[in-house]
Amino acid sequence: MAVLRNRPPDDTFSLKERLGSRKVGGVLLLLAALLAFIFANSPLEPSYTAVKNFNLPIPFLGIDDMPIARWASDGILAIFFFVVGLELKREFVTGQLRDPRKAALPIAAAVGGMAAPAAVYAIVVATSGVDAMQGWAVPVATDIAFALSVLAVFGKGLPSPFRVFLLTLAVMDDLLGILVIAIFFTQHLNFWWLLAAIAAIMVYALVVNSGINLAVVLIPLGVLAWYFMLCSGVHATIAGVLLGLVVPALPKRGQEISFAEDMEHDWNALSQGFALPVFAFFAAGVPVAVGSGTMLDALQHPVFLGTFLGLLIGKPIGIFFTVLLLHRLPMFKLDNNMHLADVAALGGLAGIGFTVSLLIGELAFRSQEQFTDYAHLGVLFGSIAAAAIAAVTLRLRAKAAVNEQLDEDEAFLP
């Protein structure tokens, strides 16, 4: 994956433009999910389902059973994961994850924010007697695009360390989510295909680190790595992450920005404007009355409840209590401009799961598809509820932060 011209990185784009694309991406993602939900619960449902299940095989490559919905999650979503890989690389090399002292507490909070919702899900399902424990990872993810969109609208006035903490936590959350997908949802591993995928990624790394920025070279290598990873049994989107991680994140001599930052700018529009909305359109089309039951039956199902409560309650509790227990230790010090109340408000944002949670739900229940809709319904309702609560808590904390600043300013007046 690369830009479509052989040139040095372009540093003419603005930070405002990049942040704006995230907001637009969040809106497009929400609209695609809403449209899918309407289609799945209207007379158009048969047509919507027919499109989702329409098979697009590539027989000469050995891809015989690949419905459009599967192409969206296993193929198109690789673009999003490539951008995630680029973001991770830049955070490790030049961002917050470069400094262990600043990153330690958000990283620990990310771990706590994944363990608690998994535990909530496990408790709900275990006490129900339903055999659906393989969905434990569905509520562990945070959707950074949605979270930043909510923060941008309702969090004006919050201290800048709040956003830094959220971004660091979300980036680590992405990394841990990727590891969960790679480790726990790999089926029938083919070692030779995996070696071929790694070889393709190594060649890609060699090419891009030598300064070659040609699409005709990099895109075919990226597609080969994706195909080999698909054949290996590891989820194919992992190839996108690994490709992003090998792109150089430091500017070369005479360059203003790195290839990683340049590629992130170029590919982020495709990720936010196409890959994520397409995936959401095919993943979020869930009937409120799943199977032959009623909506009330669906809302009482253990998979729905475990996912819903994991996101809405498990995420904020895991993050808050991790910070509460660790923030007084020297290596886990909380920024002086942040309070525990800010962390509580931030936990609500982290409960917006969506993209990666929908993907994990699909992977977890591929052998038990009757549970997939319950998991996806839990993700949708849990994320919406978390966003609504976060909107209220963010406004309260933003007002408190403004009042605190006014009090400090008055204290300095003669």
pLDDT along the chain (414 residues), means of 10: 48 45 73 91 92 88 85 91 89 82 88 95 93 92 81 80 84 85 82 94 93 84 94 89 92 81 85 88 85 79 95 95 91 85 88 88 83 91 92 87 58 50
Closest CA to 202 of 180, 229, 225: 225
Nearest CA to 236 out of 194, 265, 204, 299 is that of 194
**Which structural domain range is residue 44 located in?**
15-406
Tell me how many degrees the CA angle 337-170-360 measures, rounded to the nearest 5.
Answer: 155
Asked if 355 and 81 touch (Cβ cutoff 8 Å), the reply is no
Q: How many domains in the chain? A: 1
Strands (DSSP E) found in 137-242: none
Q: Select from 244, 234, 238 the least CA-distant residue to 194.
A: 234
Confirm whether 8 is domain-assigned.
no
Q: CA-CA distance, 117 to 115, in Å (whole number)? A: 6
Residue identified by tokens 């290596």 is 331
pLDDT number for residue 18: 47
Residue 174 lies in a domain: yes
In a domain, 102, yes or no: yes
**Closest of 111, 139, 113 to residue 124, by C-alpha:** 139
Does residue 414 fall inside a structural domain?
A: no
Give which of 200, 235, 186 is closest to 78, Cα–Cα. 235
Spell out the alpha helix ranges (H) of 137-159.
Answer: 144-154
Task: Give the tokens for residue 259.
Answer: 């290839």
User: Cα–Cα distance between 166 and 316 in angstroms, integer?
Assistant: 12
Instruction: Read off the amino acid at residue 251.
Output: P
Of all helices (H) and strands (E), which one includes residue 381?
Answer: helix 372-411
* 411, part of any domain: no
C-beta of residue 314 within 8 angstroms of C-beta of residue 116: yes
Helix (H, G, I), strand (E, B) or coil at 58: strand
Whether residue 412 is contained in a domain is answered as no
Closest of 110, 165, 115, 164 to residue 142, by C-alpha: 110
Residue 130: CB atoms within 10 Å: 16
CATH code: domain of residue 280: 1.20.1530.10
Identify whether the C-beta of residue 315 lies closer than 8 Å to the C-beta of residue 350. yes
Domain-embedded: residue 237:
yes
Distance of CA 75 to the CA centre of its chain: 16
Residue 232: partners with Cβ closer than 8 Å, 6 or more residues away: 189, 190, 191, 193, 194, 196, 197
Confidence at residue 7, expressed as pLDDT on a 0 to 100 scale? 52
pTM comes to 0.83
CB-based contact 149:22 (threshold 8 Å): yes
Structure confidence at residue 286 (pLDDT): 86
Amino acid 19: pLDDT: 41
Residue 362 and residue 73 in contact, taking contact as beta carbons nearer than 8 Å: yes
Q: Is residue 242 part of a domain?
A: yes
Contact 165, 404 (CB under 8 A): no
